[in-house]
Amino acid sequence: MAPVLSIVVPTLDEAAGIAAHLAPLQPLRAEGCEVIVVDGGSRDGTPALARPLADAVLSAPRGRGPQLNAGAAAARADLLLFLHADTRLPPGAVAAVRAALAGGRRDWGRFDLAIAGRHPLLPLVARLVSWRSRFTGIATGDQAIFVRRARFEAAGRFPEIPLMEDLALSAALRRAGRPACLRERVVTSGRRWESRGVLRTVLLMWWLRFLFWAGRDPADLARRYG
């Protein structure tokens, strides 16, 4: 019997947190979901730690695009959800996804965002990301993009580029229909913002997105991002 939902998690050197990340997904496995971890060449034992907590642990070339595509190719469900290794789903996520796509009006969607961390600006950043996504119909990987397999394939899957693969996919998906924008919030780690400076990171990402939409080479953007 096919799973009701396949959750694809890309990893790279996530040994310190992978067990804690996968643990909340175990009740979903009991409810008929499938968890697929796709590792991009970890050197810290991440795949071995993930194996008891996943239905499959695969290897793929490093990069979220190649890793997520490999997980989607191996997935057995018609519904796919792409979950970053530092992002947690809200309670009732699977029911919310299935309800959002029921009836065939929508083929894909994403969650609103919360950012875990101490900096007082992080809640504002999360709200701005959610508002921007709702207005533009463009989603980021931090928002746990979910999609019907047929729509994912028709959109050309994730482009295998060094950066912005999430924006490129959601732009392709949007051309066939706007996303279901769920009010339930996934919680992602604020380590990226706090380690680099919240305002500096926000401004950098705005600039990189502008350059991406202007046609700049994603490899150059990845070097700028560091």
Name the domain count of the chain: 1
What is the distance between the alpha carbons of residues 154 and 177, in angstroms, rounded to a whole number?
Answer: 12
177 in any annotated domain: yes
124 in any annotated domain: yes
Nearest to 29 by CA among 76, 73, 70: 76
Instruction: Give the residue-averaged pLDDT of 94-117.
Output: 94
pLDDT band at 130 (very low <50, low <70, confident <90, very high): very high
Tokens 């463009």: give the residue.
138
199 in any annotated domain: no
What pLDDT does residue 38 have?
98
**Inter-residue contact 26 to 100 (CB < 8 Å):** no
218 in any annotated domain: no
208 in any annotated domain: no
Rg, C-alpha atoms of the chain: 16
What pLDDT does residue 200 have?
87
Q: Which domain holds residue 111?
A: 5-190
32 in any annotated domain: yes
Task: List all residues 6 or more positions away from 100 whose beta carbon is below 8 Å from its beta carbon.
Answer: 106, 109, 180, 182
Per-residue pLDDT tens digits for 30-71: 999 999 999 999 999 999 999 999 999 999 999 999 999 999
**Inter-residue contact 127 to 26 (CB < 8 Å):** no
- Supply the pTM of this predicted model: 0.94
**Inter-residue contact 110 to 179 (CB < 8 Å):** yes
CA atoms within 13 A on the CB side of 191: 5
CATH assignment of the domain containing 182:
3.90.550.10
CA atoms within 13 A on the CB side of 186: 34
Q: Alpha carbon of 124 to those of 47, 104, 175, 208: distances in Å?
A: 35, 33, 29, 20
pLDDT band at 212 (very low <50, low <70, confident <90, very high): confident
What is the distance between the alpha carbons of residues 133 and 138, in angstroms, rounded to a whole number?
Answer: 5
101 in any annotated domain: yes
CA 32 from centroid of its chain's CA atoms: 20
Tokens 């997935």: give the residue.
75
213 in any annotated domain: no
